[in-house]
Structure 1
Amino acid sequence: MHDALTGLLESQAPVGLATWRSWWDQLADRQIDQAQVLALLASLTSRLPDHQTLRHLLDSLTERRPAPAATTPWEGTVNVVGTGGGPRTFNISTASAFVAAAAGVKVVKTGSRAYTSSLGSVDLLERLGIRLTSSHAHTEDTLAAHGIAFAGPYVYPPQLTRLARTAAPHGMKPFGRFLNALGPFLADLPVTAQVTGVSATAPLDTLRALAATTTTRRIWLVSNDTGADELLPFATNTVHEDTTRTRTIRPGELTPGDGSFGDLRPADPADAPAHFRSVLSGTAGRVATRTVCLGAAALLVASGTRRDWPSAVAVAEAAVRSGAAHDLALRLAAPAAPRPLAVAHA
């Protein structure tokens, strides 16, 4: 049994960087078998380890990434991604990303297919006809053209793919709790800030300690008293800006505080595209509109595009009322215009 697995099972001390390096080396050399991979994933899923073990795990993956072609920071750009879990709703963070982009902030949305829900962000985008980006250059080009981009799996460590292949034919869905909790820290993007919703199923204190040791971007963690991984107008929300600073947003403070999860029900997958467009156009109900505008306001403030929350909410609401958020989604879903045929000249 590898020392990484032994360390996780015994939980007597953090699993060190050298141990994780050895795990990935042996996995690449096929010295780690399926049984050990499944046992490691099961351990990580049943109880997320301490933040030091997770930091060493993340660092061991980061140092193995291929060097990107361009490393220029994307100034003023914010990534939005949640941990999943908690009460089920429509894809709020994805809708908030569109609203924030329509309101003037550059947004990158990362996510996955459904692990703990019926429709993950990638599943929804597929149904909307919106493509994921395939490289940093592709993401930069999409940001320049539309102000928003949906990053594909290239942002995640290739070692996760090797884990999945070794675990096959067992799928990764049973390990969704671990993948959702750590996923927001796995994406490699040169953004300025990141806003991550944390549900009650994720270990908030551990993730806060992990965020404090992340130096490549500013990370805000969002939680509330309902257990959802979103900012909600009818909940008492807490924005954890760092390990010492928090902001509490109470019902009625920035938007009217009435409503419930009944107003945010997830759409049937078959009807999800139409429902999602109605959310962006402001016709899915006042509570849905307030919810996505509150989420968009967090992206506006975290990115530095807006300094105060009330003006950020107002700008987000204007992006919905004007139809800008809805139109942005339509433009991204439209097929690219064919290039004109080259004409040979004599």
Structure 2
Amino acid sequence: MHDALTGLLQQQAPVGRGTWRSWWDQLGDNRLDKAEVLALLASLTSRLPDHHTLRHLLDSLAERRTPHPAGAGWQGTVNVVGTGGGPRTFNISTASAFVAAATGVKVVKTGSRAYTSSLGSVDLLERLGVRLTSSYAQTEDTLDAHGIAFAGPFVYPVQLTRLARTVAPTGLKPFGRFLNALGPFLADLPVTAQVTGVSAAAPLETLRELAGSTEGRRIWLVSNDTGADELLPFAVNTVHGERGLTRIVRPGELTPGDGSFADLRPAADPGAAVDQFRSVLAGAAGAVATRTVCLGAAALAVAAGTRRDWLSAVAEAEEAVRSGAALALADRLAAATRAGDRAGARDLEVARV
């Protein structure tokens, strides 16, 4: 049994970076069998280990990454991502990303397919016709062209792919609780800031420690008294910022405080998710839905440093919805994807000739 698994099971001391290095080396060399890999993932999922073990795990993966291209550093850009696992809603953070970008904030959204929900952000974007970017250069080009980009799997350690292949056909979905909790710290992007929604299903204090020991970007963690991984107008929200600083956002402080999760329910039929999402961006899904995505968009603007005042950031977000700018941005991004597909098909046809 590998020392990483033994250490997780015994929980007598943190699992060190050297032990994790050995684990990834043996995984890459196919020296770990499926049962051992499944056991380690099950241990991480059933009980998330201490902050030091997780820090060593993250650092052991970070040191294996290919460095960012020279000069990469997307100043004023914010990444938005959540841990999932809270009450079921439509894809609020994805909608907030479009709304914030429509106000001029540069936004990168990372996410995954559904682990604990019926439709993850990647599933929704696929239905919207928006393609994920496949490289840092493509992400930067998309940001320059549209002010928003949805980063693909290239931002995550390749070791995750190796884990998935090793445990196939089981897949990683049974371990979604661990992957969702740690996922926001696995994505490698040269952004200025990151806003991470933390649900009651995730270990907030452990994630706060990880955020405090993460270098290179400002990380805000957002939680509330409903257990959702979003800022909500009808909840008492806490924004956990840098150096332990927090801000409480109470109902009625930045937007009217009425409403409930009934106003944020996902479409009953996943096939109707696109229509519902478009209605949210257009401001036609109800006042509470609009307030919610605008509150989230305001957080992205303030975290990125492009706005200082929350109230004015909320007002700008509301105008982006009311004017149709947010929906128009989503349509432009989908149109750009279609145009890229047509160009790719033509190039392929020429190559065949």
After TM superposition, the score normalised by the length of structure 2 is: 0.95
State how far apart, in whole Å, the 1-side matches of 2:217 and 2:313 are: 21
**Structure-1 residue corresponding to 2:241:** 241
Unaligned runs of 5+ in 1: none
State how far apart, in whole Å, the 1-side matches of 2:196 and 2:291 are: 18
**Structure-1 residue corresponding to 2:350:** none
The one-letter code of the counterpart of 1:316 is A
Superposed, 1:110-189 pairs within 5 Å as 110-189=110-189
Q: Which has the higher helix share?
A: 2
**Structure-1 residue corresponding to 2:324:** 323
**Structure-1 residue corresponding to 2:251:** 251
The one-letter code of the counterpart of 1:256 is P
State how far apart, in whole Å, the 1-side matches of 2:64 and 2:314 are: 40
State how far apart, in whole Å, the 2-side matches of 1:236 and 1:286 are: 18
Question: Deviation of residue 303 (structure 1)?
Answer: 0.3
2:270 is paired with a residue of what secondary structure? coil
2:242 is paired with a residue of what secondary structure? coil
State how far apart, in whole Å, the 2-side matches of 1:169 and 1:266 are: 29
1:271 is paired with a residue of what secondary structure? helix
Question: Deviation of residue 71 (structure 1)?
Answer: 4.4
Question: Deviation of residue 31 (structure 1)?
Answer: 1.0
> For residues 5-55 of structure 1, what are the alpha-carbon distances to aligned partners after superposition, in whole Å with 9 as ceiling and x for unaligned?
000111111100000000000111111110110000000001111111111
**Structure-1 residue corresponding to 2:306:** 305
The one-letter code of the counterpart of 1:83 is T
Alignment size in residue pairs: 341
Question: Deviation of residue 150 (structure 1)?
Answer: 0.1
**Structure-2 residue corresponding to 1:336:** 339
> For residues 166-218 of structure 1, what are the alpha-carbon distances to aligned partners after superposition, in whole Å with 9 as ceiling and x for unaligned?
01111211100000000000001000000000000000000000000001100
State how far apart, in whole Å, the 1-side matches of 2:2 and 2:101 are: 46
> For residues 120-167 of structure 1, what are the alpha-carbon distances to aligned partners after superposition, in whole Å with 9 as ceiling and x for unaligned?
000000000000000000000000000000000000000000001001
Q: Does 1:22 align with 2:22?
A: yes
The one-letter code of the counterpart of 2:306 is T
- Say if 1:208 and 1:242, in contact at 8 Å, map to a contact too: no
Between 1:47-56 and 1:194-203, the stretch displaced more is 47-56
State how far apart, in whole Å, the 1-side matches of 2:38 and 2:51 are: 21
RMSD: 1.2
Question: How much identity, in percent, do the aligned residues show?
Answer: 80
- Say if 1:70 and 1:136, in contact at 8 Å, map to a contact too: no
Between 1:241-250 and 1:140-149, the stretch displaced more is 241-250
State how far apart, in whole Å, the 2-side matches of 1:320 and 1:218 are: 27
The one-letter code of the counterpart of 2:128 is L
C-alpha spacing 1:167/1:71, structure 2 compared with 1 (3 Å): farther
Question: Deviation of residue 72 (structure 1)?
Answer: 2.1
C-alpha spacing 1:228/1:57, structure 2 compared with 1 (3 Å): same
State how far apart, in whole Å, the 1-side matches of 2:227 and 2:327 are: 29
1:254 is paired with a residue of what secondary structure? coil
Question: Deviation of residue 86 (structure 1)?
Answer: 1.0
State how far apart, in whole Å, the 1-side matches of 2:42 and 2:137 are: 36
Unaligned runs of 5+ in 2: 348-353
The one-letter code of the counterpart of 1:109 is K
> For residues 233-285 of structure 1, what are the alpha-carbon distances to aligned partners after superposition, in whole Å with 9 as ceiling and x for unaligned?
00000000035210000000000000000000011210011110000000000
Q: Does 1:276 align with 2:277?
A: yes
Superposed, 1:192-203 pairs within 5 Å as 192-203=192-203
State how far apart, in whole Å, the 2-side matches of 1:62 and 1:242 are: 21
State how far apart, in whole Å, the 1-side matches of 2:128 and 2:270 are: 11
1:32 is paired with a residue of what secondary structure? coil
The one-letter code of the counterpart of 2:126 is E
Superposed, 1:52-67 pairs within 5 Å as 52-67=52-67
After TM superposition, the score normalised by the length of structure 1 is: 0.97
State how far apart, in whole Å, the 1-side matches of 2:263 and 2:294 are: 15
1:165 is paired with a residue of what secondary structure? helix
